[in-house]
């Protein structure tokens, strides 16, 4: 017998029993119908030592003693008089000692489905017997005339209620046998419960398949905003009805906020509690009557059948799994999310505390992801994240947890680790694995990442591991990205220091703590200063003179950079007007300063001080001019004012020399790293090529960071126009600038060696 028929059979069963008048007829009907449904030769209703109803034996001939024993034995095989060997099975009603027992000839035993149906019938019979019993009590209590009137009313009401219950059940059952989608089946259960018990709120919860201590909501009716989605088993009427496997009426002193009454009934699958159907009211003074309680019980029993039915049960498990999965995984990549990672971290640290061993967390953030996202579009960004997730998953061991924390951040939890070096190895493998270009929507995209590595010591807390790895990742970013950095405790202090700086910088700008130093850019052929580059410093009241690397990055990330840039420009321009007319001023601009209002502000500052635009050079780093069309437009406008543009730190970014020609650029400042490498064959060749291409593009060339006579000599031979570096002069204060005008800054030994100056 297929299970999907069970609900239908029970509905018919209840309908038939309700239609009977007295107890004896009801019992007779109950055993007959049960025999028919179960195709059993014998069905008996056993009450204690008595068998008030039996089918399969002529009246008065039933083996009462044997049947009572069978009811006690629950299931098995036995010889019955007149039938030979039978297999039998029994199920209890809610009343103690009352059971239905069914027996079949032959050795085919009762299936699980048969057992479920028999159990359902026993419960329905119990409910029907109690209802008719109640009616009889009522009847006995009343005087004749009253009784008749009341009987009619009660009967009508109970008939109506039964009728409604039946209709509800039929509807549910139809939605199940009609293979209705799960949500329709669940909806018909909660709507039915609400109307039958006259409740404002209904919640159907099932036990979490992965966490037997938690009940999760699977269907609701009414406003459930005040109820938690996850409920510990045993809490309130809902949780207790599940644990105690019986109807529980909520204790008025212990109800969820806002409720005046609540009751819960267990929902079972194949007889085992799997959830609870709870109804509640917010109407003041409301209590649930005995009939309402019974209705809920019986209704929950039917919901159980609905949920036990194969496809519903499967769909429900699927829905629960999906809800659980969604709550703990990232939708885009399917990887565990931050919540699941935290959970695993907690478990892992608990295990590690009991059984000390090494464990580490890697925090990985893709470099320049925002840029990729902005330039290729969000779909491409998403596709890239999916590819990165896949590649990372291939690189970690199955025992490690890889999670996406959000945005372009990933984490890897390494639980089984032999040594600290293993974590660094993995970080390197991940970085290496990402270095292969990734195909994103038909394009090859190169990805680099920054990785922070934090190693667990059993003293710390698990969540420290995440924030430590995050800090280390941040250090990796600051160092230029594309690398792994191991967390060390000093990083906390550095972060605090950065936070302090962020805090103090604005008042510092406003109260004039920023000072500008100037470093000469020297024309190699004459040794004279061509330009002074303005380099900002912070005269900090307690920490002394701070270099720009200590606070420019902070200013850039906290939007203070505009105020800072404006202050430097104001001071430097005011200074430059006092210099000889052929000495130029260069100022540095951060990418964040290149907003559309910048050209006007610069023009304003120049006019204010009376400096012609031709004497100002702005230095920008190359990556930005190449990539960002808005920034490019700003630079173009500055150029239009007559201001010269220099590409700073050339060679460290991504631009190709061939594009230089199409940019509004006048000067190329070759980065210090190339100058330092000039005494090697390769280095010499590279800087030679850069200088030649710069010249071919019509640009003036400047070598930065010139520290030795050898470097200067090599640069001179390669045709470099200008040099800047400690060899010629360190950055100097505003007053010291004046000492550098008019005489050659090239040291005597260089003059002798290559005949310069």
What is d(CA 515, CA 196) in angstroms, rounded to the nearest whole number? 80
- CB-based contacts of 435: which residues, under 8 Å, 6+ apart? 446, 447, 448
What HEC string does 424-478 produce? HHHHHHHHHHHHCCEEECCEEECCCEEEEEEECCCCCCHHHHHHHHHHHHHHHHH
Q: How far is the CB of 535 from ligand C2E (least distance, A)?
A: 4
* Helix pair angle (548-557, 561-576), 10° resolution: 130
Q: How far is the CB of 504 from ligand C2E (least distance, A)?
A: 18
Q: Under the criterion CB under 6 A, does residue 536 sit at the interface with ligand C2E?
A: yes
Select from 51-59, 205-213, 362-370, 533-541 the region that touches ligand C2E (CB under 6 A): 533-541
Q: How far is the CB of 728 from ligand C2E (least distance, A)?
A: 8
Residue 656 near residue 631, CB atoms below 8 Å? no
Task: With H, G, I as helix, E, B as strand and everything else as coil, classify residue 543.
Answer: coil
Select from 122-130, 182-190, 257-265, 542-550 the region that touches ligand C2E (CB under 6 A): 542-550
Q: How far is the CB of 681 from ligand C2E (least distance, A)?
A: 22
Centre a 10 Å sphere on the Cβ of residue 153 and count the other Cβ atoms it contains.
10
Select from 285-293, 365-373, 580-588, 589-597 the region that touches Mg ion (CB under 5 A): 580-588
Q: How far is the CB of 702 from Mg ion (least distance, A)?
A: 9
Closest chain position to ligand C2E (CB): 725
Centre a 10 Å sphere on the Cβ of residue 688 and count the other Cβ atoms it contains.
18
Q: Under the criterion CB under 6 A, does residue 548 sit at the interface with ligand C2E?
A: yes
Q: Got the DSSP string for 148-210?
A: HHHHHHHHHHHHHHHHHHHHHHHHHHHHHHTT--HHHHHHHHHHHHHHHHT-SEEEEEEEETT
What HEC string does 249-302 produce? ECCCCCCCCCCCEEEEEEEEECCEEEEEEEEEECCCCCCCCHHHHHHHHHHHHH
Comparing CB distances to ligand C2E, the nearer of 109 and 673 is: 673
Task: With H, G, I as helix, E, B as strand and everything else as coil, classify residue 674.
Answer: helix
Structure-token pair, residue 295: 């209705």
Task: With H, G, I as helix, E, B as strand and everything else as coil, classify residue 511.
Answer: coil
Task: Enter the DSSP assignment of 732.
Answer: B
Comparing CB distances to ligand C2E, the nearer of 242 and 518 is: 518
Centre a 10 Å sphere on the Cβ of residue 212 and count the other Cβ atoms it contains.
9
Q: Under the criterion CB under 5 A, does residue 588 sit at the interface with Mg ion?
A: yes
Q: How far is the CB of 495 from ligand C2E (least distance, A)?
A: 21
CA distances from residue 447 to 31, 391, 408, 473, 714 in whole angstroms, order as listed? 74, 11, 11, 16, 36
Which of 726, 736, 742, 748 is the binder for ligand C2E (CB under 6 A)? 726
- Contacted entry of ligand C2E, Mg ion, none for residue 536, CB cut-off 5 to 8 Å set by kind: ligand C2E
Comparing CB distances to ligand C2E, the nearer of 117 and 646 is: 646
Select from 37-45, 128-136, 204-212, 548-556 the region that touches ligand C2E (CB under 6 A): 548-556
Residue list 644-663, contact with ligand C2E (CB under 6 A): 648-649
Q: How far is the CB of 747 from ligand C2E (least distance, A)?
A: 13
Comparing CB distances to ligand C2E, the nearer of 307 and 706 is: 706
Comparing CB distances to ligand C2E, the nearer of 549 and 735 is: 549
Comparing CB distances to Mg ion, the nearer of 424 and 619 is: 619
- Contacted entry of ligand C2E, Mg ion, none for residue 549, CB cut-off 5 to 8 Å set by kind: ligand C2E
Select from 135-143, 377-385, 590-598, 612-620 the region that touches Mg ion (CB under 5 A): 612-620
Q: How far is the CB of 587 from Mg ion (least distance, A)?
A: 8
Q: How far is the CB of 536 from ligand C2E (least distance, A)?
A: 4
Select from 8-16, 283-291, 471-479, 641-649 the region that touches Mg ion (CB under 5 A): 641-649
Select from 178-186, 412-420, 602-610, 702-710 the region that touches Mg ion (CB under 5 A): 702-710
What is d(CA 43, CA 52) in angstroms, rounded to the nearest whole number? 11
* Helix pair angle (310-328, 290-308), 10° resolution: 90
Comparing CB distances to Mg ion, the nearer of 523 and 619 is: 619
Residue 505 near residue 560, CB atoms below 8 Å? yes
Comparing CB distances to ligand C2E, the nearer of 401 and 729 is: 729
Q: Under the criterion CB under 6 A, does residue 565 sit at the interface with ligand C2E?
A: yes
Pattern 670-699, ligand C2E, x by CB under 6 A: ------------------------------
Which of 549, 656, 735, 749 is the binder for ligand C2E (CB under 6 A)? 549
What is d(CA 479, CA 676) in angstroms, rounded to the nearest whole number? 19
Comparing CB distances to ligand C2E, the nearer of 114 and 671 is: 671
Q: Under the criterion CB under 6 A, does residue 622 sit at the interface with ligand C2E?
A: no
Q: Under the criterion CB under 5 A, does residue 648 sit at the interface with Mg ion?
A: yes
Residue list 511-530, contact with ligand C2E (CB under 6 A): 519
Structure-token pair, residue 103: 């027996």
Comparing CB distances to ligand C2E, the nearer of 27 and 618 is: 618
Among 474, 522, 516, smallest CA distance to 494 is for: 474
Q: Under the criterion CB under 5 A, does residue 649 sit at the interface with Mg ion?
A: yes
CA distances from residue 212 to 92, 235, 274, 638, 645 in whole angstroms, order as listed? 27, 14, 10, 68, 68
Select from 32-40, 201-209, 333-341, 701-709 the region that touches ligand C2E (CB under 6 A): 701-709
Residue 642's region, left for phi above 0, alpha for psi from -120 to 50, else beta, is: left
Among 571, 618, 617, 570, smallest CA distance to 590 is for: 618
CA distances from residue 554 to 15, 77, 144, 407 in whole angstroms, order as listed? 77, 84, 93, 22
Structure-token pair, residue 447: 């990805």
The residue assigned the tokens 């038909």 is: 442
Q: How far is the CB of 633 from ligand C2E (least distance, A)?
A: 19
What is d(CA 52, CA 129) in angstroms, rounded to the nearest whole number? 13
Q: Under the criterion CB under 6 A, does residue 705 sit at the interface with ligand C2E?
A: yes
Q: How far is the CB of 687 from ligand C2E (least distance, A)?
A: 15
Centre a 10 Å sphere on the Cβ of residue 414 and count the other Cβ atoms it contains.
23
Structure-token pair, residue 573: 């321009």
Residue 285's region, left for phi above 0, alpha for psi from -120 to 50, else beta, is: left
Q: How far is the CB of 342 from ligand C2E (least distance, A)?
A: 39
Q: How far is the CB of 537 from ligand C2E (least distance, A)?
A: 7
Residue 523 near residue 530, CB atoms below 8 Å? yes
- Contacted entry of Mg ion, ligand C2E, none for residue 622, CB cut-off 5 to 8 Å set by kind: none
Residue list 576-615, contact with ligand C2E (CB under 6 A): 588-590
Task: Enter the DSSP assignment of 536.
Answer: E
- Contacted entry of Mg ion, ligand C2E, none for residue 565, CB cut-off 5 to 8 Å set by kind: ligand C2E
Residue list 704-743, contact with Mg ion (CB under 5 A): 704
Question: Could you tell me the sign of the dihedral formed by the alpha carbons of 701, 703, 709, 714, in that order?
Answer: negative
Residue list 190-249, contact with Mg ion (CB under 5 A): none
Select from 315-323, 415-423, 433-441, 531-539 the region that touches ligand C2E (CB under 6 A): 531-539
Select from 287-295, 353-361, 462-470, 543-551 the region that touches ligand C2E (CB under 6 A): 543-551
Centre a 10 Å sphere on the Cβ of residue 627 and count the other Cβ atoms it contains.
17
**Contact residues for ligand C2E (CB under 6 A)?**
519, 534-536, 547-549, 552, 565, 568, 588-590, 619, 648-649, 704-707, 724-726, 731
**Contact residues for Mg ion (CB under 5 A)?**
588, 619, 648-649, 704
């Amino acid at each position: 017998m297929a299970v999907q028929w069970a609900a239908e059979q029970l509905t018919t069963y209840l309908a038939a029993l309700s239609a009977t008048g007295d107890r004896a007829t009801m019992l007779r009907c109950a055993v007959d119908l049960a025999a028919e449904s179960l195709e059993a030769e014998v069905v008996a209703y056993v009450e204690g030592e008595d068998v008030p109803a039996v089918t399969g034996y002529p009246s008065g001939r039933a083996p009462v003693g044997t049947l009572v024993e069978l009811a006690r034995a629950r299931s098995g095989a036995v010889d019955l008089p007149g039938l030979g060997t039978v297999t039998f099975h029994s199920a209890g009603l809610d009343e103690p000692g009352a059971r239905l027992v069914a027996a079949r000839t032959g050795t085919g035993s009762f299936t699980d489905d048969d057992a479920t149906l028999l159990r359902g019938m026993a419960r329905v019979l119990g409910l029907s017997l109690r209802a008719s019993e109640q009616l009889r009590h009522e009847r006995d209590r009343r005087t004749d005339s009253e009784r008749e009137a009341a009987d009619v009313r009660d009967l009508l009401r109970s008939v109506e209620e039964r009728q409604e219950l039946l209709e509800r059940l039929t509807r549910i059952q139809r939605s199940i046998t009609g293979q209705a989608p799960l949500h329709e089946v669940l909806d018909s259960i909660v709507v039915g419960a609400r109307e039958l018990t006259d409740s404002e709120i209904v919640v159907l919860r099932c036990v979490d398949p992965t966490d037997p201590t938690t009940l999760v909501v699977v269907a609701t009716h009414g406003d459930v905003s005040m109820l938690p989605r996850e409920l510990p088993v045993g809490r309130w009427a809902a949780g207790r009805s599940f644990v105690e496997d019986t109807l529980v009426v909520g204790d008025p002193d212990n109800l969820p906020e806002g409720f005046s009454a609540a009751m819960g009934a267990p929902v079972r699958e194949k007889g085992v509690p799997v959830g609870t159907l709870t109804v509640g009211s917010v109407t003041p003074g409301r209590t649930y009557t005995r009939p309402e309680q019974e209705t809920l019980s019986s209704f929950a029993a039917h919901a159980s059948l609905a949920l036990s039915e194969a496809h519903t049960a499967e769909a429900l498990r699927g829905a629960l799994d999906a809800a659980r999965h969604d709550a703990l995984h990232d939708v885009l990549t399917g990887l565990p999310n931050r919540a699941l990672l935290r959970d695993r971290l907690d478990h892992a640290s608990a295990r590690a505390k009991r059984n000390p061993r090494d464990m580490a967390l890697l925090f990985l953030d893709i470099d320049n992801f925002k840029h990729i996202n902005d330039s290729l579009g969000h779909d491409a960004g998403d596709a890239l994240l999916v590819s990165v997730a896949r590649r990372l998953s291939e690189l970690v061991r199955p025992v490690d947890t890889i999670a996406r924390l959000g945005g372009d951040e990933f984490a890897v939890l390494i639980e089984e680790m032999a040594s600290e070096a293993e974590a660094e190895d993995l970080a390197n493998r991940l970085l290496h694995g990402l270095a292969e270009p990734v195909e994103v929507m038909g394009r090859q995209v190169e990805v680099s990442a920054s990785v922070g590595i934090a190693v667990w010591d059993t003293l710390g807390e698990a969540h420290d591991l995440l924030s430590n790895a995050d800090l280390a990742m941040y250090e990796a970013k600051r160092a230029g990205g594309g690398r792994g950095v191991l967390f060390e405790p000093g990083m906390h202090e550095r972060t605090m220091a950065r936070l302090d700086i962020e805090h103090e910088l604005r008042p510092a700008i406003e109260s004039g703590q920023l000072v500008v130093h100037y470093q000469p850019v020297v024309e190699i052929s004459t040794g004279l200063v061509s330009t002074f580059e303005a380099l900002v410093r912070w005269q900090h009241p307690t920490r002394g003179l701070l270099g720009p690397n200590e606070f420019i990055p902070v200013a850039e990330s906290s939007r203070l950079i505009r105020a800072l840039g404006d202050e430097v420009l104001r001071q430097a321009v005011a200074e430059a007007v006092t210099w000889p007319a052929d000495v130029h001023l260069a100022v540095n601009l951060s990418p964040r300063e290149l907003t559309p209002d910048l050209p006007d502000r610069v023009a304003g500052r120049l006019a204010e001080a009376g400096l012609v635009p031709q004497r100002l050079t702005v230095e920008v780093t190359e990556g930005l001019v190449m990539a960002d069309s808005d920034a490019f437009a700003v630079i173009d406008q500055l150029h239009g004012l007559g201001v010269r543009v220099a590409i700073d730190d050339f060679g460290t970014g991504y631009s190709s020399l061939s594009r230089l020609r199409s940019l509004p650029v006048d000067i190329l400042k070759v980065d210090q790293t190339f100058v330092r490498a000039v005494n090697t064959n390769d280095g010499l060749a590279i800087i030679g090529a850069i200088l030649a291409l710069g010249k071919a593009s019509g640009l003036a060339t400047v070598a930065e960071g010139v520290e030795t006579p050898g470097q200067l000599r090599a640069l001179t031979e390669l045709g470099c126009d200008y040099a800047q570096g400690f060899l010629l002069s360190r950055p100097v204060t505003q007053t010291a600038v004046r000492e550098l005008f008019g005489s050659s800054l090239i040291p005597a030994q260089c003059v002798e060696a290559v005949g310069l100056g």
